[in-house]
Amino acid sequence: MRYRTWILLAVVMGMVLAACGGETASTTTAGEATTTEAPGTTEAGATSTTALPVDTTGYDHLDQAIAGDFSGSTVEIWAQWLPESSEAANFTYTLEPFTELTGITVNFQPTPDYETALQVAVDGGNAPDLAQIAQPGKMHQYAEAGSLVALSDWFNTDKLAADMVPAFYELGLLDDTLYGVYYKTDVKSIVWYPVQGFADNGYTVPTTWDELIALSDQIVADGNGNPWCISIESQEADGWVATDWMEDILLRTASPEVYNQWISHEIPFNDPEVLEAADYMSQIWFTPDYAYGGNTYINATWIGETQDPMFAEGGPQCWMQKQAAWIGGFWGENRDALAADPNLPASEWPNKPETDVDFFYFPPIEDEFGTPVLGAADMFVMFNDRPEVRALLEWLATPEAAAGWIERGGFLSPLTTVPNDWYVYPNNQLAEMVAGATTVGFDASDLMPAEVGAGTFWSGMVDWVAANGEGTEDIFQQIEDSWPTG
Amino acid sequence: MAEAIHPIRSMTPGLRILRALVVVGVVFIALWLGLRVLRDPNTFAAFGPTLSKLAQALVALILGVGGIWALFYAANVIIEALPTRATDFLRPYVFVVPAVAVVGLYLIYPTAGTVVGSFTEVPEGASPLTNYTQAFTDQEVILALRNNLIWLLIAPAASVAIGLAFAALVDRIKNESLAKAFVFMPLAISFVGASVIWRFMYAWKPPGQNQIGVLNAIWVAVGGWLVDLGLLQEVEPVAWLQEIPWNTFFLIAIMVWLQVGLAMVILSAAIKGVPRDLVEAARIDGGSELQIFFRVIVPTIRGSILTVFTTIAIAVLKVFDIIFVTTGGNFDTSVVAVRMYQEMFRFRNFGQATTMAVILLVAVLPIMIVNIRNLRRQGVGA
């Protein structure tokens, strides 16, 4: 009897532990939105958050708050940045001056399993005052369900529109009403390469598509391994890296109008313009010897380990990787170093950004479409309308709200009013890239219906890779067929 | 039991009621405090990240198991405060009603809601069957159904066959329990845990790199010898989970690994229950060992085999974790439960999600009925 009890206990214990373990696993899965953003370089003293003069011109509630009108009140704010992550720590840090200025307590809750948790809270009538949202489609859902506070009535939208990169301002609108204020952006149109390896071999940074292909051929011809590090395995979000490639290329081979029509399904998913972009993409992905390990590697390798061969002993085995800046934390030995100490500043990483690994702009393809940039971004939306909540949202739209995080590194603001000299590498260059972009395209898969954007577009890319680029038309036709009707 | 009740019976009614109130109060306060401790994420923060999780799990375990016991105990104390006749009348209900209520609230109500939802969660003005016509014309769903069928055809049969063979063989060796423990152990591992383990078994690294996957390490090493011997041109690591259609079978192997233990334990007990004189009679009649096994033992334990088979079949139809963890449903390995999850949590598409759930339910029902009937027959027969 006792023996059996122990077995039962052991089994139950195992299940409980497994449940806990499962939770951890799901929170660390690197989906597009939840990937750990590695901090950029931290230069102490570059900016000091508390000493900043707060420019409140045009933001009435913030003025009142600074005058102390709402002192003692509390605002609850949620975001997807995981507990104990450097992002959550940085956001907490960046919020401190607001409390000092206004006496309003900000209760920030980093939430694991964020999207479900927020949905449940909203459904249950316990929505936080402010919440971060990565996908505009989600904002539309909440707004159409009547859960969100419309901001246009009281928010100084003229000021916001003037202060912000227009593309991001417009994405906060639904039917000309402002619902979301963008806070943090991510640039995806960059390609990382090993600095020393390029220098040793006399490779130069390509500025056109033809140069990019010529460099790729050169690397193959030199017997230096494979030019490209590509992989898309990302647990239940397999394939999203490939969707970013498609979008970045489409912005370079088609007009912004076509890009937007593709998102809104005014043209079919497999429009000839899109298939043309797919051809460009397969030129890099499926040309023999271009991608390290071939299509099997692309599908079998986790996105955090994509670039491991770039750091192989005896020189890079793959040379170029297109990925947003967060990937720096996963380079070579950085992964282990940061696992041991999440607060390790970039200047102390084993593989250093800029000096060891640098990036170049993913080159334009057709001249007429200029130099577009593909980005994603996080916005804040408002569920409960109180003066102190308004004040915080207004403050989040000022450069001061970005200062703390910029100081810590790894932050790019959608505000053009943030002085460029606040930023350190790589965000100073990324900010210039965004400011100089002819078009800023928002991550299309985040804007499409989830059935496609987080469903068949992802799995279609996986199938396409599995087929080594064969049957492109059939696969894009299947994605088109899966577009939800009605 | 009689001694235990007697002292309480000797109390005055007033004392008994007071005792009941005190016990109920203590139980509720203890549960409330315990749940509050669990709800606060910072309770165990002082222990550090790993220990705090363990401490939390331990408290949850104590609270879960102990809490149920405490609630039943409290309920028992209440009815014991009543007159004897009422106590005797009410006691069975104390144990049955909560179970029925819980099953009703957490099982029957949601099931009914799901079935209704699959017909009502349709676009305005569309036919109630829209979800079903959509499901059965969707290539992805048809693929998932096909895969479920493959799982159903192979996993239970393989588990039972291997489990039965093992049970029969192990019956004749000295360290039987030790050998059985090894086969039984995977059963204690969760599906997610097993899938993570097997991800490493099937892991693939490009040629030239260290193969961290057990299977590929063996494959490349053995292949390397064969190449050295000139028997093979070259050997390349295999991305097992990408090999359509074999990957589905590799995933089924995980399920079999998990379930063989269950089959073995039950069938081993059944084999030991076969009357010795029956086997000896067969032996005297000149039956070979194989004949005895297939013509005497197997027919005798048919009921147990059926029970094990149907139990595993139900688990197989509901399979989700293994696929979700290893391939995420890619490479043609998706099953209905994975589709259900995706429709529900990724696409927020309640109509399709409930339809998937109903399809699974309908598929499981007949097997459940066979299982229950069989159990009942066994109960009567024994």
Residues in chain B: 382
Contact A139, A174 (CB under 8 A): yes
pTM for the model stands at 0.79
Residues near B214 by beta carbon (within 8 Å), at least 6 away in sequence:
B200, B201
Three-state secondary-structure class, residue A127:
coil
- Whether A455 sits inside 8 A of B189 (CB atoms) is no
Contact B53 A20 (CB under 8 A): yes
Cα separations in angstroms, A342 against A145, A335, A399, A412, B197: 39, 10, 26, 20, 27
pLDDT at A36 exceeding the cut of 50: no
pLDDT (0 to 100) of residue A293: 94
Please report the pLDDT score of residue A53 as a whole number. 61
A84 inside 8 A of chain B by CB: yes
The ranges of chain B with pLDDT < 70 are 1-10, 41, 379-382
pLDDT at B171: 84
pLDDT of A21 over the 70 cut: no
- Write the CB contacts of A279 (distance below 8 Å, at least 6 apart in sequence): A472
CA nearest to A455, candidates B323, B147, B328, B118: B328
CA distance B131 to A483: 15
Query: Does any CB of chain B come closer than 8 Å to the CB of residue A293?
Result: yes
Comparing A16 with B361, which gets the higher pLDDT? Answer: B361
Tell me which of A477 and B39 has the higher pLDDT: A477
Find which of B190, B204, B212, B247 to mutate to test the A interface (most A CBs within 10 Å of its CB).
Answer: B190
Of A214-223, A400-409, B191-200, least confident by mean pLDDT is: A400-409
Question: In the predicted model, what is the mean pLDDT of residues A378-399?
Answer: 95
Q: What is the pLDDT of residues A129-151, one digit of tens each?
A: 999 998 888 898 899 989 999 99
Residue A29: is its pLDDT beyond 50?
A: no
Identify the closest residue of chain A to B345 by CA–CA distance: A116
Residue B185 in contact with partner chain A when CB distance is under 8 A: no
Determine the 3-state secondary structure of A345 from DSSP.
coil
CA max distance for chain B? 94
> Which range is least confidently modeled, A175-189, A274-288, B31-45, B355-369?
B31-45
Task: Measure CA of the first residue to CA of the last residue in chain B; give whole Å.
Answer: 29
Greatest mean pLDDT among A14-23, A256-265, B339-348: A256-265
List, in sequence order, every beta strand (DSSP E) within A6-142: 74-79, 105-110, 130-133
Residue A386 three-state SS:
coil
A-chain residue closest to B204, CA distance = A300
Task: Give the nearest chain A residue to B348 (CA atoms).
Answer: A450
Between B263 and A25, name the one with better pLDDT.
Answer: B263
pLDDT tens, residue by residue, A419-439? 888 888 888 899 889 888 888
Is A376 within 8 Å of A442 (Cβ atoms)?
yes
| Measured torsion, CA atoms of residues B11, B13, B17, B23, in degrees rounded to the nearest 10 | 20
Best mutation site among B330, B338, B349 for testing chain A: the one with the most A CBs within 10 Å?
A: B330
Tell me if A14 and B190 make a contact (CB, 8 A cut-off).
yes
Q: Is the pLDDT of residue A197 over 60?
A: yes
pLDDT of B379: 65
**Helix-then-strand count for chain A, H and E:** 21, 12
Closest CB to A296 among B239, B346, B349: B239
Q: Which of B330, B346, B349 has its CB closest to that of A462?
A: B330
For residue B11, the distance in angstroms to the closest alpha carbon of chain A comes to: 33
- Res A73: pLDDT: 94
Cα–Cα distance list, A486 to A146, A189, B193, B313 (Å): 20, 33, 41, 38
Predicted local confidence at residue B20, as pLDDT? 86
Predicted ipTM > 0.85: no
Q: How far apart are CA A308 and CA B205, in angstroms?
A: 11
Q: Do B123 and A462 touch (CB under 8 A)?
A: no
- Say which of A17, A300, A450 has its CB closest to residue B204: A300
Rounded to the nearest 5°, which phi and psi values hold at A175? 50, 50
pLDDT value of position A19: 41
pLDDT digits (tens, 9 = 90+) for B221-257: 999 899 988 888 888 899 999 998 999 999 999 999 9
Poorest-confidence range of A12-21, A158-167, B184-193? A12-21
A444 vs A361: CA distance, rounded Å: 19
| Least confident segment among A16-30, A180-194, A381-395 | A16-30
Percent of chain A with pLDDT over 70: 87
Sign of CA dihedral A22, A24, A26, A28: negative
Q: Does B241 touch chain A (CB under 8 A)?
A: yes
- Stated as kind and residue range, the H or E segment containing B237 is none
Average pLDDT over residues A445-471: 92
pLDDT of residue B7: 59
The residue type found at A356 is D
Return mean pLDDT, chain B.
88
Helix (H/G/I), strand (E/B), else coil: A382 = strand
